[in-house]
């Protein structure tokens, strides 16, 4: 299967052709006019999948948890696409994508599609093309799309803007109770999973998280993120977590919640697209001469960067 035009690729993808989906994700990562045409063709067919984000520190057990969750859902007859993001090297641009190692048990199942994605310089825990890849997997007809972020520290919170339901994985032995009241990743969880719950200290992690959650002000009708124990390696606790994810999605479906989430996601995506297009056009203006001249003028301190940007955006 060599280079295909976007219309053929879109038709095959919508028909559930796995190779077409794989090629389409590569195209979305590369970007350009063909990629935009492809997304344009499939976008009306998206919105059917349950999209779940899974994040947590490196080594918390994200891939193992996603593997266990996918096995659970497969047993219930649902099809799953998994997008596993790992970091790119800021120096070489290369990456080692190792999340498949933990997902071996999912091999050979036509109801599962696993794709590894390098972050390619994007911060925030996901990749530039993550939203597009999720849309492509959704359009290909998978019931559930799971996004596994890069190993997250404290501020990789972009996943919550992409996925309506976010699972944050914590483990025992990673700090005192002050960690649980810090800002950032703990604020975005719809479901907390305390993985490796057979280890010492799991009870106190669960207790600290619950205390932290009770301190937050929330209205009676709003969602209280549950804190659930798991031993993902043995599949323990997974059924209860899967049921809770479904409950959260049902909660999101009530009233305007999903629409409000979608609005924030779309506004962010649109802002990024506008930035990208604006930079591309600004660089290309006057055969690239305008950009180069302005860079020189800023270096010479004849003009400041903000005024230079104004010049580029106002250029005919």
Interface with another protein by CB under 8 A: which residues? 1-2, 18-19, 22-23, 25-26, 29-31, 88-89, 92-98, 100-101, 104, 107-108, 113-116, 118, 120, 128
Q: CB-wise, 95 or 258, nearer to another protein?
A: 95
Q: How far apart are CA 72 and CA 51, in angstroms?
A: 16
CB of 91 to another protein, least distance (A): 8
| Neighbouring C-beta atoms of residue 203, cutoff 10 Å | 12
Q: CB-wise, 232 or 252, nearer to another protein?
A: 232
Tokens of 155: 């501020």
Q: CB-wise, 86 or 190, nearer to another protein?
A: 86
- Asked if residues 130 and 124 have their Cβ atoms less than 8 Å apart, the reply is no
CB of 138 to another protein, least distance (A): 16
Report the DSSP beta bridge partners of residue 167: 54, 191
CB of 81 to another protein, least distance (A): 9
CB of 67 to another protein, least distance (A): 13
Cα angle 81-83-84, degrees, rounded to a multiple of 5: 135
Q: CB-wise, 106 or 245, nearer to another protein?
A: 106
Three-state SS across 26-70? HHHHHCCHHHHHHHHHHHHHCCCCEEEEEEECCCCCHHHHHHHHH
Q: CB-wise, 146 or 252, nearer to another protein?
A: 146
Q: How far apart are CA 87 and CA 119, in angstroms?
A: 5
Of 129, 181, 191, 135, residue with least CA distance to 160: 191
CB of 230 to another protein, least distance (A): 23
């Amino acid at each position: 299967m060599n280079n295909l035009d976007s219309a053929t690729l879109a038709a095959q993808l919508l028909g559930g052709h796995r190779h077409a989906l794989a090629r389409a994700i590569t195209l979305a990562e590369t970007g350009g006019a063909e990629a935009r045409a492809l997304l344009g063709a499939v976008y009306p067919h998206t919105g059917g999948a349950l999209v779940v984000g899974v994040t947590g520190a490196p080594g918390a057990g994200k891939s193992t948890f996603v593997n266990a969750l996918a096995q659970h859902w497969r047993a219930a007859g649902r099809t799953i696409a998994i997008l596993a993001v790992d970091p790119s090297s800021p120096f070489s641009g290369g990456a080692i994508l190792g999340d498949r190692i933990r997902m071996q048990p999912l091999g050979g199942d036509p109801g599962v599609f696993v794709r590894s994605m390098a972050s390619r310089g994007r911060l925030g825990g996901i990749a530039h093309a993550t939203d597009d890849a999720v849309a492509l997997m959704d359009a290909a007809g998978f019931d559930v799309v799971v996004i596994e972020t890069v190993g997250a520290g404290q501020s990789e919170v972009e996943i919550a803007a992409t996925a309506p339901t976010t699972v944050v994985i914590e483990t025992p032995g990673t700090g005192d109770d002050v960690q649980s009241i810090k800002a950032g990743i703990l604020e975005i969880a719809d479901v907390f999973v305390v993985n490796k719950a057979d280890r010492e200290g799991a009870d106190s992690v669960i207790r600290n998280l619950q205390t932290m959650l009770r301190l937050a002000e929330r209205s009676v009708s709003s969602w209280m993120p549950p804190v659930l124990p798991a031993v993902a390696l043995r599949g323990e606790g997974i059924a209860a977590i899967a049921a809770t994810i479904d409950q959260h999605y049902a909660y999101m479906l009530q009233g305007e919640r999903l629409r409000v989430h979608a609005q924030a996601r779309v506004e962010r995506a649109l802002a990024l697209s506008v930035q990208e297009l604006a930079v591309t056009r600004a660089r290309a203006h006057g055969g690239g001469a305008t950009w180069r001249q302005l860079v020189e003028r800023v270096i010479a301190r004849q003009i400041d960067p903000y005024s230079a940007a104004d010049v580029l955006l106002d250029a005919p």
